[in-house]
Structure 1
């Protein structure tokens, strides 16, 4: 998938998710971050296409605000 300029992909490894309700909560929390597009959310993992204004720290804070712990993941810069 080709990203828009200045965008990056954030993959978050998340603990505490056990059901579809958890998935919905995380998806809604991430969707509330300005300039972030949720690619996918499943139990234990979320992937977000984020613009420069949507930092990893903001995404982590959104997930933690929903009651879950981010325990790892990766950041990938958009291809040049």
Structure 2
């Protein structure tokens, strides 16, 4: 392509930005899907319900042992 320049591909919008414009029922549906995936992954790893709840609580509260810290 003579004389043109190559455009970098756009990076996808952050998840929060993609979800911000969704109607409430679609947002809840996406959240529900995410929770189901999280639970399925926990089951695959052999975590108990209590272990999963502890991980979620620690992640939300920013407990030092949590891998990602508090949510923004």
Shared topology, TM-score over 0.5? no
Higher relative contact order (CA 8 A, sep 6+): 1
Question: If the length of structure 2 is used for normalisation, what is the TM-score?
Answer: 0.24
Question: If the length of structure 1 is used for normalisation, what is the TM-score?
Answer: 0.23
Flag the structure with larger Rg: 2
Q: Which structure has the highest strand share of the two?
A: 1
